[in-house]
Structure 1
Amino acid sequence: FSSNNHPLVLFLDDLQWVDSASLELIKLLYLSEECNYLFLIGSYRENEIDKAHPLQISLENMNSTKPIHYIALRPLNIRNINKIISTTLKCEKEESFSLAEIVQNKTGGNPFFINQFLTTIYNNELIYFDNELKKWKWDVKEIRLRDFSDNIVEIMIQKILTLKEPSRKILQISSCIGNTFNLYFLYIISGRSMEEVVNRLNEPINNSLIFSISDEYKYLLSLELKGNEKEILNSIEFKFSHDRIQQASYSILEENERKNIHLGIARELFSDNKDSDIEENILEIAHHFNQCLDLIEDKIEKLQVIELNFLAGKKAKKSSAFKSAFGYFEAGISCLGENDWEENYSLSLKLYSEIAEASYLIADYEKMETYCSVIEKKSKNILDRAKAFELRTLAFTAGYNFGESLSISFKVLGELKIYFPKNPTDLEIESSYKKLQELIGDKNNSDFINLPLMEDPYKNLSMYFLSLAIPSAYFSLPSLLPLLSFKMIELSIRHGNSILSAVGYSNLGMFLCGMTGEIDKGYSYGILSLDLLEKYQYKNLKCKLYHIFYNFIKHWKEPLKDCLQPLEEAIQVGVEMGDNEYAAYSTGEFCYNSLFCGESLNSIINKSEKYIPLLTKIKQEHIHVVLYFLKQFALNLSDKAEGSSNLKGSFFNIDEALPFFIEKKFGSGAFFVLVLDMILKFLYRKTNEAYNNIDKAFPFIDAVIGIAIVPEYNFYSSLILLSIYEESDVEKKQNILERVQENQKQLKFWAENSPSNHMYKYHLVEAEFYKIINKDYEASINYDIAIEYASTNNFLQGEAIANELAGRFYFSRNRKKISKVYLSDARYVYSLWGANNKVLQLENEFPEIYNLSLDKESLSYLTSDFTSNFFTKTSDSINFQNSGGLDV
């Protein structure tokens, strides 16, 4: 629709009110390679958009793919204001400067306010034209003495009060209709003749209070309109020149008069739309009724208003306008009578269920609990009570109360005759898995996709609460996690696929990849879950399924960096769909996987800061803290003021947080902070302190099943163990070698399945092992292989560490020239990573090495012959497949 000969400019105003469907269309148009010669311009009110707003998230995502140019419309400064005044009054800028200062102080530089203020002082004859001198004059002293309000609304009120009463009245009625209104509707609501309405609009138009959007208005006076030309009159629209004018017009109406006008508008709109699709205008109709609820006495009309508010709330929720949705549901509930739970049970239940959910979505857990208590008390059966229990589990999980959350899920599942052991043993898990395998038999993905749909409402409810239990089980009782997914798949096979069956399949995939090591099979179940998502287009499940597949499954076979974009997409979808819990999980995962795949520390800080406001807004405390400890980790390496080998500083303190995590059974949080603290200590050469963290973290490893931090833990544990080998006694040395050998078996398996993620880790540990057993030739080769893999796959931290350890190896062998090359490379890559404090530590430790500043190109030149000789000589004799490794 746009081409070289016919370019298209599309302007979209008030994007702060955009719905999710429109956002998707904007993204499609903007990012499409086929939409050339299209110029998209959008505007929004910055003060109504925070970092958690879907528009802001979408813009940032689009900007990362295709740059967006932002133009901030800031207030005019004194120079601009003075230029406007001097140009208008045809005088020198020096002469008008004192007036410009007053205008700036009164208006704050807002262009609309400037115009109104200048008009006001002109109307008060404080600016006037001197006919004798033939120039404009003004009295600065008198203007300062006059009590002109700083409030633009008050100024506008004074201007509106100068209108003739009929004109003022028509403007006030218009302000009740809205910022934009058409002539026909104003004619109907006003109760005046068409001629009177048109004549009364002239004065506000002439005073620039409103303006006609369409040119047809100019010809109205030449027509003899009777008011029955509905189609013509509906097309003639007017708009307030500024929303403050509408606000001012509205504010001077008496409350009772205002309510009666709204009631007339609401009834007219309802009557005009009830025979057609009311959905399009439902928000407007409900809004007008809600301004006059105390005037509605007829019981039938009250029920209509309740239903209208229910529909309006649902529509607002669908557009992610959760506060507005809450307001509509609250208005509906206020119209319920004392006996409505008995007389209108279904309507009451759905209203209370929706407002309870809206309370959760705006993170008002106190109100949520109030409404949940009513639902629990008034509901007739477990199906109707389910919403209350669901929301409580979500709220408890958000606030670290994982045990409480699980107990609610167990209570509901118990009513549905589903039971689990309190602390499942390995034997119970193994037994359940064998039974599931027997039930699955030879079924493949196609068989699962083509299962019939689950129709039993109680089985569907069981599936729902099994899925609700998964997050709390993951954090506090990991041994329960596989049993939950096994049960979901069993129910799906026996009773058909439910909406949530895909969650069961993907969690089984996570179990297979992260616990049993059946990576190919686990990956296949993950793909199955995405295929079901595609087949049934369950958008409300997209965030959950992306969270599982791209955080727990995909990286075991494919590059970790390829998981980042889908996780960021999951955040946006979760926010849009009101899936606060999984949007929060995806946020943490997006940020910590960005760290693990080698993004710069500055990027980690920026990403954490970007999403902290979102998690604050939706009160997901257990993930909120993740962004703080990631930010602290990055700052400890990059910021001199925060440079500590302990995970503590301005934003996070492990000494305070760790006991709290353990008390709350937040196992994954405990594991993460201990491992990040361990990595810091290792990088700062506090190896004995780092060694202590290895055993501290291990008891919590089941709480991070399937996450990319597990290979990180394996990798750094081995490097730390090998780093203390020389200072250890004979018994401890043997223990170190055995532990590293066990780690390497696991790491080799992971590297075989996902070489881009883990091969550099495997070879670097191999190099350090060969170093301690004095096999320098093999060590040299493995250092270079590790560096090559890390560099090729953009693992900055891996490349830097590998270069540092290689440099230290050569330094220990008194090969200072080669050592300088690797240590200089290490400094360069650490600098790219943003680890400024680590760079400083290296420079202080090796001053003689860093006297000569080398750039990357010169380093590559120096090392080219050296590394090429090694690879030429050894690529066939020692490689990953053929190396015995750790020959102890």
Structure 2
Amino acid sequence: MDEETLTTMVSETLCLLPRLTRSLSSIIYHKTKGNPLFVSQLMISLGKEGLLRPSLSRRRWEWDKEKIQFQKLPDDVAMFFTNSIEALSEDVKASLCVLSCFGSSAETAFIKTLERLLQKTLLNNLDAAVEEGLLDKKDGRYHFSHDRIQEAAYNMLNFLDQGRFHFSYGMALAPLVDAAGEGDDSILLTAANQLNLAGPEAVHDKSQNVTIANLNLQAGKKAMEMSDFVLAYSYFDNGISFLRKKHWEEHYNLSLKLFDLAAKCALTNGDIVSLKLLSEQVIAYGRSYEDKLNVLYLVTCSLAFSSKLPESIEKSIEILANLGIDLQEWRSTEVCVQETTTLLSTYTDDEILNTRQMTDPTMIIALKFLGKLELGMTQTKPRSVPLVTQKMIELSLAKGMSPMSPIGFVYFGSFISKRGDLSSGYRYVKVALSLLDKVGKESAGEVICIATQVKIFVEPIQAALEYHDDGYAASMVARDVSNALLNILFKNSCVHVAGVKLQTMREEYEKFFRLAKENNHSIFLVQIKQVQRDVLRLIGSDEELTIHENPKDVSVEEAKIVATNNSVNVSRYYQKAYISFIFRSYDDTKENIEKYLACISKTWANLLIHHAVHAFYSGLISFWVARKSRDRQQWHERGERSKLALKKWAESSRWTFEHKWYLLEAEESYCKNDFEVAELFYEKAISSAKEHKFVHEEALACELAGYFYAELRDTDKAMEHFLRAHEKYHEWGAFGKCDCLFKFVERFLLLCLLALATRSKTKQCTAKGVK
């Protein structure tokens, strides 16, 4: 059919005037050349994809012209056009072959550049292909109408010639790389891609190997700037493949840069095997210890992410000793804090922020090792953290600020906040955040993460959640996956504390689990399993979650993490105690809280939201155990310590901690049989939790008040609080907990009815004189 006939057919099919359908029929004709079968197939395809659809409001058919223009042809239509390539002139076919070497599309401006470099006519020939329906031309770009057409054009080249053409195109573009304007990276990436498609076997002149390796180095750096570390690794890897034998001797600096950056990308991408191979090369051929420091740092990072955190720490301490930084000396926590405080007292905030930049490359990498130790030692050797922090601050003030310096200040702020000086801690946290603007954002993910944990003790927790989103984004820009995961982990902890809906929590934990698994971060995987299980249990989900309970089923790697990482054990025992407490399993709660308390003295160098949450629930559990245990005094003292901690935090942030403090006051008064005071604080805890929007802890306060009133045999008040607790747990999404509470209330009511019936019968018998 000619175009006019096709327009008539489309008009009649859609029951619209030809002037209305002409824009659609013109595109269809261009794509099918009027073949009736293809017209039918294409219109059916447009209908299925919603690009041609009936409009009820307009009472007519409508279509999306822009999207249809770029709609790919159905496969059999593409095959028809592929076969029609043979009928084209040799010049047009040759131009299609050139275009096919650059992918599915290319800009008109780039084609003009190729014309000039290759001294070939391309634009006119490609326009002829557009007329034949093989290409689309839109917004200054030529597009193949279908992948099969591009494939057919590319396959017209002899297999042995394909590499030769890619190589010639890449080498023709290479001289333009430096001439391209700033911000225009397309020539660089295109040239590198063409040469990489050709491969090292296409090179015949040794000098070209160096040129191509350098191009890949530049392309890889650009890809890193775009945060595409998978693409960056491919460029560095290709650059290495173009290096010839003896490249370490003849082109040392180029080789070192390619291997260093490839290793960094391998770590970022979770490719530990490639990291190992690359680092071995640098360690074997590096000319100085300083030249090996970058890969040594990456190796220690990979150890930290897996089950070898103690080995990572030991290796880092050894490397720092070689650089003249001794961490083996013993200094008490008090001495480290006092010396650091004294040092900082001689500086104003402005003087710290305006300290000169660090220029010594060895010291810059030393600060990286120290920064990595902060987080690692927090999990395994918390008492050593203040010394690491002190070294970071001393070096930063003496040698200049590096991109890692904010880590030292934020950890110091977190540490002294944990020791009770929240105002000073908050000050240094803000200094650390301000330093990021001075020294760069390389450490922003970790700094924001730790800073947010301190901010939560001053600002409302619901408002602080977005800070962890900023920390995650900053980490991902730097492709610092470990700190991206840490921000998600801490945000999820905050989400739990803030009482966000459990279904949302479940989805967030699943995202976290997938990201940790993709990047082989074993420690995070171990830490998250128990929490995932508890969320599912609260929801009441029947979904099976692979969490090992039997020690025989635990993997060797997981067992090693549990054996060497005390903070993991603290989290595991706390979670088990927490969920047992929530579901009122007394024996399990007591057993796990005792294990938790046995580990707790060896962890937490810094102030984290975990600290407050653990103090709150361990306090509630302690008072519960005190009421039921013979060792009443010891458990009461533990609960009182938790209460005093929450009271102090409530003075700093009434919003987040007031209701928790009130609830602990109520439970303590209950323990002392001071029932009037207990009743007052239960109601204050419920009111404060409601006011500050902690729905889950409003539910908990109502539930505990219910048990209190039940003990006093005030059935009406007990039922009132149990029903309100059930309502709030349901609002939170804790349907599993709702079922558990409902069963308890059923038993409670039955017992009340039995007691009432017994009393009634006793009265009747007494009235009749029956004993």
Q: TM-score range by the shorter chain?
A: 0.7 to 0.9
For residue 621 of structure 2, the aligned residue among 714, 717, 720 is 720
1:535 matched residue in structure 2: 438
The amino acid across from 1:652 in the alignment is I
Secondary structure at the counterpart of residue 333 of structure 2: helix
1:295 matched residue in structure 2: 202
Secondary structure at the counterpart of residue 827 of structure 1: helix
2:271 matched residue in structure 1: 364
Distance in 2 between residues matched to 1:414 and 1:155, nearest whole Å? 71
1:146 matched residue in structure 2: none
Q: C-alpha displacement at 1:664, in angstroms?
A: 4.2
Change in CA separation of 1:351 and 1:808 when aligned onto 2, cut-off 3 Å: same
The amino acid across from 1:725 in the alignment is A
1:458 matched residue in structure 2: 362
Q: C-alpha displacement at 1:661, in angstroms?
A: 6.2
Whether 1:264 aligns to 2:168 is: yes
Determine if contact 1:629/1:651 at 8 Å carries over to the other structure: no
The amino acid across from 1:826 in the alignment is A
Whether 1:283 aligns to 2:189 is: yes
For residue 823 of structure 1, the aligned residue among 722, 728, 734 is 722
For residue 508 of structure 1, the aligned residue among 399, 412, 429 is 412
Distance in 2 between residues matched to 1:788 and 1:630, nearest whole Å? 28
Whether 1:420 aligns to 2:327 is: yes
Secondary structure at the counterpart of residue 212 of structure 1: strand
Q: C-alpha displacement at 1:89, in angstroms?
A: 11
Secondary structure at the counterpart of residue 564 of structure 2: coil
Determine if contact 2:82/2:148 at 8 Å carries over to the other structure: no
Q: C-alpha displacement at 1:569, in angstroms?
A: 2.0
1:351 matched residue in structure 2: 258
Q: C-alpha displacement at 1:686, in angstroms?
A: 0.7
The amino acid across from 1:311 in the alignment is Q
Deviates more, 1:768-777 or 1:343-352: 768-777
The amino acid across from 2:365 in the alignment is L
1:389 matched residue in structure 2: 296
Whether 1:401 aligns to 2:308 is: yes
Secondary structure at the counterpart of residue 690 of structure 1: helix
2:44 matched residue in structure 1: none
Distance in 2 between residues matched to 1:313 and 1:447, nearest whole Å? 38
For residue 801 of structure 1, the aligned residue among 682, 693, 700 is 700
Distance in 1 between residues matched to 2:640 and 2:575, nearest whole Å? 23
The amino acid across from 2:694 in the alignment is F
1:60 matched residue in structure 2: none
2:593 matched residue in structure 1: 694
Determine if contact 2:696/2:732 at 8 Å carries over to the other structure: yes
Aligned ranges 1:720-759 → 2 under 5 Å: 720-729=621-630, 732-759=631-658
1:175 matched residue in structure 2: 100
Whether 1:184 aligns to 2:83 is: no
Give the paired residue count. 691
Q: C-alpha displacement at 1:237, in angstroms?
A: 4.7
Determine if contact 1:598/1:795 at 8 Å carries over to the other structure: yes
1:430 matched residue in structure 2: 334
Deviations 1:446-468 (A, max 9, x none): 22112222233332232121112
Determine if contact 1:688/1:724 at 8 Å carries over to the other structure: no
Change in CA separation of 1:267 and 1:641 when aligned onto 2, cut-off 3 Å: closer
Secondary structure at the counterpart of residue 142 of structure 2: strand
Determine if contact 2:492/2:508 at 8 Å carries over to the other structure: yes
Distance in 2 between residues matched to 1:828 and 1:661, nearest whole Å? 43
For residue 671 of structure 1, the aligned residue among 567, 570, 582 is 570
Change in CA separation of 1:118 and 1:508 when aligned onto 2, cut-off 3 Å: farther
Q: C-alpha displacement at 1:572, in angstroms?
A: 2.0
Change in CA separation of 1:416 and 1:154 when aligned onto 2, cut-off 3 Å: farther
Q: C-alpha displacement at 1:419, in angstroms?
A: 1.9
1:311 matched residue in structure 2: 218
Could you say what the CA RMSD is over the residues aligned between the two structures, in angstroms? 3.3
Q: C-alpha displacement at 1:577, in angstroms?
A: 1.4
Determine if contact 2:523/2:561 at 8 Å carries over to the other structure: no
2:373 matched residue in structure 1: 469
Unpaired segments ≥5 residues, structure 2: 1-5, 15-26, 42-73, 751-771
For residue 326 of structure 1, the aligned residue among 227, 230, 233 is 233
Whether 1:238 aligns to 2:142 is: yes
Change in CA separation of 1:346 and 1:791 when aligned onto 2, cut-off 3 Å: same
Change in CA separation of 1:319 and 1:685 when aligned onto 2, cut-off 3 Å: same
Change in CA separation of 1:638 and 1:310 when aligned onto 2, cut-off 3 Å: same
Aligned ranges 1:582-621 → 2 under 5 Å: 582-621=483-522
Deviations 1:138-177 (A, max 9, x none): xxxxxxxxxxx97987666434345444322221111113
2:243 matched residue in structure 1: 336
For residue 421 of structure 2, the aligned residue among 518, 534, 549 is 518
Distance in 1 between residues matched to 2:35 and 2:526, nearest whole Å? 53
Q: C-alpha displacement at 1:633, in angstroms?
A: 1.2
2:739 matched residue in structure 1: 840
More helix by share: 2
Secondary structure at the counterpart of residue 672 of structure 1: helix
Distance in 2 between residues matched to 1:247 and 1:486, nearest whole Å? 62
Determine if contact 1:608/1:628 at 8 Å carries over to the other structure: no
1:21 matched residue in structure 2: none
Distance in 2 between residues matched to 1:120 and 1:621, nearest whole Å? 59
Distance in 2 between residues matched to 1:431 and 1:613, nearest whole Å? 42
The amino acid across from 2:502 in the alignment is L
Determine if contact 1:604/1:630 at 8 Å carries over to the other structure: no
2:19 matched residue in structure 1: none
For residue 608 of structure 2, the aligned residue among 691, 698, 707 is 707
Determine if contact 2:32/2:133 at 8 Å carries over to the other structure: no
For residue 549 of structure 1, the aligned residue among 426, 447, 451 is 451
2:760 matched residue in structure 1: none
Change in CA separation of 1:698 and 1:116 when aligned onto 2, cut-off 3 Å: farther
Distance in 1 between residues matched to 2:34 and 2:626, nearest whole Å? 81
The amino acid across from 2:283 in the alignment is E
Determine if contact 1:177/1:265 at 8 Å carries over to the other structure: no
Deviations 1:98-156 (A, max 9, x none): xxxxxxxxxxxxx99x9779969669x9xxxxxxxxxxxxxxxxxxxxxxx97987666
Distance in 2 between residues matched to 1:117 and 1:817, nearest whole Å? 83
2:685 matched residue in structure 1: 786
Distance in 2 between residues matched to 1:727 and 1:562, nearest whole Å? 39
1:652 matched residue in structure 2: 547
Whether 1:204 aligns to 2:129 is: yes
Secondary structure at the counterpart of residue 628 of structure 2: coil
Change in CA separation of 1:737 and 1:468 when aligned onto 2, cut-off 3 Å: closer
Change in CA separation of 1:435 and 1:340 when aligned onto 2, cut-off 3 Å: same
The amino acid across from 1:629 in the alignment is Q
Determine if contact 1:605/1:630 at 8 Å carries over to the other structure: no
Determine if contact 1:400/1:666 at 8 Å carries over to the other structure: no
Change in CA separation of 1:153 and 1:205 when aligned onto 2, cut-off 3 Å: closer
Deviations 1:56-95 (A, max 9, x none): xxxxxxxxxxxxxxxxxxxxxxxxxxxx9x9869789xxx
Distance in 2 between residues matched to 1:667 and 1:795, nearest whole Å? 30
Distance in 1 between residues matched to 2:34 and 2:316, nearest whole Å? 65
Aligned ranges 1:213-224 → 2 under 5 Å: 213=138
Deviates more, 1:739-748 or 1:538-547: 739-748
Distance in 1 between residues matched to 2:689 and 2:674, nearest whole Å? 23
Distance in 2 between residues matched to 1:771 and 1:433, nearest whole Å? 39
Distance in 2 between residues matched to 1:117 and 1:707, nearest whole Å? 68
Whether 1:578 aligns to 2:479 is: yes
Whether 1:772 aligns to 2:679 is: no
Secondary structure at the counterpart of residue 211 of structure 1: strand
Change in CA separation of 1:547 and 1:727 when aligned onto 2, cut-off 3 Å: closer
Secondary structure at the counterpart of residue 390 of structure 2: helix
The amino acid across from 1:187 in the alignment is E
Distance in 1 between residues matched to 2:262 and 2:519, nearest whole Å? 16
Deviates more, 1:617-626 or 1:405-414: 617-626
Q: C-alpha displacement at 1:590, in angstroms?
A: 1.4
Change in CA separation of 1:735 and 1:313 when aligned onto 2, cut-off 3 Å: same
2:62 matched residue in structure 1: none
1:680 matched residue in structure 2: 579
TM score, norm. by length of structure 1? 0.73
